Amino acid sequence: MATAAARQTGGSVRVTLWILLIVYIFNFIDRQIVNILAEPIRLELGLSDTQIGLMTGLAFALFYTILGLPIARFSDRSTTNRPWLIGGALAIWSAMTALCGLAQNFIQLLLARIGVGVGEAGCTPPAHSLIADMVEPSKRSSALAFYALGIPIGTLLGMLIGGLLADSVGWRNAFLIVGLPGIALAVVVFTYLKDPRRTGMMQAGTQQSAEQMPMKAALKAMFSSRAFVLLVAAGSAAAFLAYGKVTWITIFFQRTHGLTPGETGLWFGLVNGGAGIAGTVLGGYIADRWGAKNRRHVLTAPAVGMVVTIPFALLAFMTDNWLLALSLLIVPTICNSLYYGPTYSSVQGLVPLRARAIAAAVLLFFQNLIGLGLGPLFFGMMSDLLQPAYGEESVRYVLYGATFLGLLPAFFFWRCSLRLNEELDQKD
């Protein structure tokens, strides 16, 4: 029978995970709502596809990634109150999301999006560090996959709410309505989220000394791991495709199939969000179950899944029936979501415990700079280049090419998996 202390610890972990999940949902609502609003914004402000890619991707990602490293460094200090760091970041990005609705031109909107990126830089590195400190290694993939549910849930809600609001009250009010509740959530974080460093809820063997690992030593420990380098390459390539495709698939359904933002947000949001949730949960479950028998299989499902997506995605982009296209995208979305939990948990297991937050930030630096920063922008530039030949159908041809690029992260996940038995969970 569980002791009272064990029950209390388990309860604290559950409370922490649920609060962090809700925060991460708000993170992705505010990050991704711009995708469903991009087409009405383009029409009102007269933007090119390249400017849309810049607004939805690089403007956010550049500051998000640059600030993520020093914030993670600060988070790794034993004296830092990580919940207060997360709550403050939440208040900032929520306020900046609301300000997006007040923008009168492209530059103002770009600056507001930069502000969202500045705030959101303070969320995931300290959150990953908190989870890794409170959850035993054998359950870490599932715990981080649970946290990662914020990605598909937040994306779903961002598309659904943003699309419906765009159709009913306009894109400007959509930003205001979505952004302001995050400030109230920040108060909840300040009140209820506790740092295990201060409550004695750290996992056995993870108590860290007050002395912080020097930055040079932390980076050396990370990049001396061949598995870590390969995992960063895999995660970055996967994010490049994920962020790039979700932006332009959203626009694809509006331009090619003639759906409104509300219709796209509802139907694509449900498919993308529901399948993403299923894939994220499944990926964490498979990683924990298969990884317990052979550590290399922590990354087997992501490697295989990236390949399985290709024929389904191609057929989805070829058909002129939007309902069939949505149905065909279910399998690719599930398979492309398998990597979240295994990737984030593996990063935490490949570095010394005093470098966990900075390791998460390094992964996020490359994922977001390459993925979120360059993915939407690259595909937008390609769409502009193809428009003279294909007109409004240029997005369809961009997505054809993006589908085959899935072989790149599949290769890196496979190569990384070959080193996990040697390197994973050897530094706690």
What pLDDT is stored for residue 128 in this prediction?
82
- Which pLDDT score is estimated for 295? 84
pLDDT at 202: 52
pTM: 0.74
Instruction: Give me the pLDDT at residue 98, please.
Output: 94
pLDDT at 357: 67
Mean pLDDT, consecutive 10-residue stretches, the chain (428 aa), reads: 46 85 94 87 88 82 81 77 91 94 92 90 85 79 83 87 91 93 92 75 47 74 89 94 89 92 90 89 87 85 95 96 96 92 83 75 83 87 92 93 94 93 69
Q: What's the confidence (pLDDT) of residue 21?
A: 94
Q: What string of H, E and C letters represents the secondary structure of the chain?
A: CCCHHHHHHHHHHHHHHHHHHHHHHHHHHHHHHHHHHHHHHHHHHCCCHHHHHHHHHHHHHHHHHHHHHHHHHHHCCCCCCHHHHHHHHHHHHHHHHHHHCCCCCHHHHHHHHHHHHHHHCCCHHHHHHHHHHHCCHHHHHHHHHHHHCHHHHHHHHHHHHHHHHHHHCCHHHHHHHHHCHHHHHHHHHHHHCCCHHHHCCCCCCCCCCCCCCCHHHHHHHHHCCHHHHHHHHHHHHHHHHHHHHHHHHHHHHHHCCCCCHHHHHHHHHHHHHHHHHHHHHHHHHHHHHHHCCCHHHHHHHHHHHHHHHHHHHHHHHHCCCHHHHHHHCHHHHHHHCCCHHHHHHHHHHCCCHHHHHHHHHHHHHHHHHHHHHCHHHHHHHHHHHHHHHHHHHHHHHHHHHHHHCCHHHHHHHHHHHCCHHHHCCCCC
